[in-house]
Structure 1
Amino acid sequence: MKYLALVTGLLLFSCQTQGNEKETKSPISREADYQKLDTATFAGGCFWCVEASFEQIKGVVEAVSGYSGGKESTADYRLVSSGRTGHAEAVQVYYDPSVIDYETLLEIFFTAHDPTQLNRQGPDVGPQYRSEIFYHNEKQKSLAEAKMEELASEFSDPIVTKLSKLEAFYLAEEYHQDYEEKHPNNGYIVNVSRPKIEKVAKKFKDRLKNK
């Protein structure tokens, strides 16, 4: 994948301290025309799972992992992992609105994670793994509110997903991007990420990209 130039990535470590990666500094950039695309930003636990869940969907041109909810100076994986920076591990989705709409992205988001878990997703515990929708405009906010109200009866526990205006999105370190694709046999990917990705694939089988 090529990456959108949003911030400079400091290549550090990974979800739940999996693996050992060489530390370097490198700007992440790409050349592409995003003017005709819309953008959505979601947080639903480890960004590896959320990113890969969206990447398989038609109309999603690119999904990138990053951080939202905190300050740029603390958008660093090691700091975010402390749970004290205010960030959530988030995924920014660039999509073609002529192929897929925001409401469908919301449905995928609520399928890819458990919105009733407060400040955690499965084995990942802490506010950095919270469920949150970062809306870009009032239309997205209204659609998200309506979708949460619609889905409330489908869960046995209350939906605890936060709804916040997007202030900023900071691109995560390069080695986090496409992590599921690059490390398909990683234990976390096999046991935690893959079931979520497959759940989305099963429910939205008619929207999967041709491989």
Structure 2
Amino acid sequence: MSPIILKFEVKYVGKTARMDHNLEKLALISSMVNAEMPSCIIDYLFIGGAVSARSVDILEHIGITNIVCLCFDEIGQSDSQYPNLFQYKNFSIDDREDADIGSIIDRACDYIHDVMKMGSNKKVLVHCFEGKSRSATVVLAYLILKKKFTLSEAWKLLKKVHPRTQPNNGFGRILLELDKKIHGKVSMKWRQSKRLTMKVCHLCGKNTGLSSSSLKLHLQKLHPTF
């Protein structure tokens, strides 16, 4: 053994337990950095992004039982889920203005409502990748269809508890149509969201979302060695 290594081991052998404890603390801090509390809309309905959906300890703590996943190809659904802990309902929808999210709104809302009717112990998380467009669209539609909110009322509630809410303009038009269908008129003007450039992974070429954090999550999940 090298004399330098031997000297190091002798000098620090008494500090092994403290170092191990510090490593445990660093691991805990790291897991907390990569965790996110979903936003509570009403007592049984929550919204978040992919980070929230993978924050298992938080989800268990707040009592989430069911998860509606609206991710397309940003993350692999099957290897990002925990079927032994939660029940999943998956819908693959891209976050594009021309994506046909209207085709899954009724099914997604019916699923949430059916879970709610199973008992007061049931809680649902609705998530997409960023937690701002697809998931927000489904939650707003649920409040309109099942709770009879106007779009304006639903928007104010969701924005209050989940400020990053911002469905894309195509989804906004669908929500306006739904508002008019249910209430006979449109309750608010849609504020056009600014077109943002998608972050693209330089390793695989996939779109990873709109923020730097979404790109970071993609790299951690699919390219952990880089």
Q: TM-score, normalised by structure 1?
A: 0.27
The structure with the largest helix share of the pair is 2
Q: TM-score, normalised by structure 2?
A: 0.26
Higher gyration radius (CA) = 2
